[in-house]
């Protein structure tokens, strides 16, 4: 078939292997029932994979730990993954042995939310300041849920709480809950709030169970969020397949972001029982950037969930991979500085991604390092991850002797 979205491949792009046909044509793709999974659902169902010789079999998972285990066992060939999940698998923290992993591309940016319970609002909590006061005055510790110990939701929650001067590991309790179960846990009083992907924040509001106190994009506008991940062994064994998969998902991502109509159509598609299984009216508003926080404040968010952003979303930036390791270090998940740049260079599949994007005629960011200022005013540019990890007032870094060791370590400034 002719696909007008595909730039004809130049001779110069003929692959070294002598053929670019995928080695494996049928792939099992894991995903969680989150709006972030939209580009995988669109790629698999709307004809974006077939031009590249792929059939994508969607396999919805009930939890991130289940998805991780199936990626490792080979039951899933690739999956939607929390950025932090892929890196914790690489580093061997969080319950599975260290395994060489690959981030094929970024799937989306933005679109997560921190939500608190209706009883908390009734107790007077409606902002960061009032939460801080409540935390320090109340005799009972609040319990807040996230979706995986090393996942983005845990890290956004920790980052946001710390920016308020609430220590996430000391001043509150945290719990792991699969995203679709957040509302039931609120209803049962087992949690006082949660950080998760959408539509589950909007769902809590829709059910009268809570309100949104912060969005993830208010913490870091255009933050890295979900990735297309797999084991490194998969990339090494099936490089053409991995490239074809990137191309299929890139095309789907471009399609979703191409128009409001496409976004609305995607919201309708993914609301199906087989995918996100939530009402369209809960999914669509935030998917289109229209937020309402459950406290009467409504706005159109200029940093809403996005899947493409002219390719800015999808490059597997080194700085993005590095950032997650800095937070693992900050919160004591890593007791020593990892070899930051070596690990990020191995995991982020930059060359494969650039080949795929070039074949589709997508303009790419010139550098794999990007910078941002997060809501606490601290600037991140990836240049000195070890120092950055130690620069926070609130942390779980052990003091001497690690501290002394740290001082003796000169951070590696090399970048690939």
C-alpha 299, offset from chain centre: 23
Site string for another protein, 106-145 (x = CB under 8 A): ----------------------------------------
Kindly tell me which of 7 and 268 has the beta carbon lying closer to another protein.
Answer: 268
Within 288-361, where are the H helices?
A: 318-330, 340-347, 350-359
Angstrom distance (rounded) from CA 112 to CA 116: 14
Kindly tell me which of 57 and 367 has the beta carbon lying closer to another protein.
Answer: 57
Smallest distance from another protein to CB 220, Å: 31
Kindly tell me which of 17 and 98 has the beta carbon lying closer to another protein.
Answer: 17
Kindly tell me which of 254 and 370 has the beta carbon lying closer to another protein.
Answer: 254
Give all strands (DSSP E) within 205-324, no chain letters.
210-215, 224-231, 290-292, 298-300
Kindly tell me which of 47 and 365 has the beta carbon lying closer to another protein.
Answer: 47
Smallest distance from another protein to CB 71, Å: 19
Please tell me the count of residues contacting another protein according to CB under 8 A.
22
- Give the footprint of another protein on residues 233-272 (CB under 8 A): 265-266, 268-269, 271-272
- Interaction of residue 309 with another protein, rule CB under 8 A: no
- Interaction of residue 55 with another protein, rule CB under 8 A: yes
Find the binder of another protein among 47, 221, 309, 411 (CB under 8 A): 47
User: Cβ neighbours of residue 316 under 8 Å, at least 6 residues apart?
Assistant: 103, 104, 105, 106, 227, 348, 349, 350, 353, 368
Pairing of strands 143-146, 193-197: parallel
Smallest distance from another protein to CB 110, Å: 22
Kindly tell me which of 135 and 269 has the beta carbon lying closer to another protein.
Answer: 269
Kindly tell me which of 47 and 221 has the beta carbon lying closer to another protein.
Answer: 47
Smallest distance from another protein to CB 70, Å: 18
Angstrom distance (rounded) from CA 224 to CA 378: 17
Find the binder of another protein among 6, 45, 63, 99 (CB under 8 A): 45
Pairing of strands 298-300, 290-292: antiparallel
Kindly tell me which of 28 and 118 has the beta carbon lying closer to another protein.
Answer: 28
Kindly tell me which of 34 and 325 has the beta carbon lying closer to another protein.
Answer: 34
Backbone angles phi, psi at 328, to 5 degrees: -60, -40
Smallest distance from another protein to CB 1, Å: 5
Angstrom distance (rounded) from CA 390 to CA 397: 8
The DSSP H or E segment spanning 284 is helix 280-287
Angstrom distance (rounded) from CA 131 to CA 133: 5
Find the binder of another protein among 46, 63, 207, 402 (CB under 8 A): 46
- Give the footprint of another protein on residues 268-297 (CB under 8 A): 268-269, 271-272, 274-275
Sign of the C-alpha dihedral computed for residues 31, 34, 37 and 38 taken in this order: positive
Kindly tell me which of 48 and 156 has the beta carbon lying closer to another protein.
Answer: 48
- Interaction of residue 360 with another protein, rule CB under 8 A: no
Smallest distance from another protein to CB 301, Å: 23
Residue given tokens 């308020």 in the structure block: 164
Angstrom distance (rounded) from CA 408 to CA 413: 15
What does the block give as tokens for 303?
């940093």
Angstrom distance (rounded) from CA 208 to CA 196: 17
Backbone angles phi, psi at 56, to 5 degrees: -110, 120
Site string for another protein, 3-42 (x = CB under 8 A): -x-------------------xxx---------------x
Backbone angles phi, psi at 297, to 5 degrees: -100, 120
The residues pairing with 229 across neighbouring beta strands, listed in sequence order, are: 79, 103
Give all strands (DSSP E) within 223-365, no chain letters.
224-231, 290-292, 298-300
Smallest distance from another protein to CB 7, Å: 15
Smallest distance from another protein to CB 225, Å: 23
SS3 for 305? coil
Under the rule (CB under 8 A), what is the footprint of another protein? 1-2, 4, 24-26, 42, 45-47, 50, 53-55, 265-266, 268-269, 271-272, 274-275
């Amino acid at each position: 078939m002719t696909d007008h979205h595909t730039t004809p491949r130049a001779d110069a792009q003929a692959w070294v292997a002598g053929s670019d046909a995928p080695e494996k044509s049928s792939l099992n793709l894991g995903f969680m029932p989150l709006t972030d999974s939209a580009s995988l659902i669109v790629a698999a169902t709307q004809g974006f994979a077939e031009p590249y010789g792929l059939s994508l079999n969607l396999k919805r998972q009930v939890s991130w730990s289940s998805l991780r285990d199936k990626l490792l066992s080979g039951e899933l060939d690739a999956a939607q993954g929390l950025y932090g999940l892929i890196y914790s698998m690489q580093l061997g923290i969080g319950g599975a042995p260290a395994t060489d992993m690959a981030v094929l591309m970024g799937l989306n940016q933005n679109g997560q939310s921190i939500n608190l319970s209706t009883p908390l609002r009734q107790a007077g909590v409606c902002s960061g300041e009032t939460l801080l006061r409540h935390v320090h005055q109340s005799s009972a510790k609040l319990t807040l849920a996230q979706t995986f110990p090393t996942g983005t939701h845990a890290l956004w929650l920790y980052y946001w709480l710390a920016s308020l001067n609430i220590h996430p590991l000391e001043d509150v309790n945290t719990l792991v809950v699969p995203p679709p179960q957040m509302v039931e846990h609120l209803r049962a009083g087992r949690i006082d709030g949660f950080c998760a992907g959408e539509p589950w924040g909007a769902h809590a509001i829709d059910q009268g169970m809570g309100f949104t106190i912060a969005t993830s994009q208010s913490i870091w506008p255009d933050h890295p969020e979900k990735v297309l991940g797999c084991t490194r062994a998969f990339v090494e064994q099936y490089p053409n397949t991995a490239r074809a998969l990137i191309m299929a998902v890139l095309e789907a991502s471009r399609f979703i972001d191409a128009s409001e109509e496409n976004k609305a159509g995607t919201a309708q598609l993914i609301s199906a029982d087989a995918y996100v299984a939530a009402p369209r009216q809960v999914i669509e508003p935030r998917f289109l950037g229209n937020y309402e926080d459950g406290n009467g404040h409504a706005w159109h968010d200029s940093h809403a969930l996005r899947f493409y952003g002219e390719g800015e979303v999808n490059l597997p930036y080194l700085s993005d991979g590095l950032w997650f390791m800095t937070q693992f270090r900050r919160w004591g998940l890593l007791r020593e500085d990892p070899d930051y740049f070596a690990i990020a260079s191995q995991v982020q599949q930059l060359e494969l991604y650039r080949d795929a994007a070039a074949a589709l005629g997508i303009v790419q960011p010139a550098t794999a390092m990007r910078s941002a200022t997060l809501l606490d005013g601290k600037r991140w540019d990836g240049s000195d991850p070890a120092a950055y990890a130690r620069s926070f007032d609130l942390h779980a870094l052990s003091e001497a002797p690690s501290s002394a060791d740290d001082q003796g370590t000169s951070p590696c400034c090399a970048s690939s």
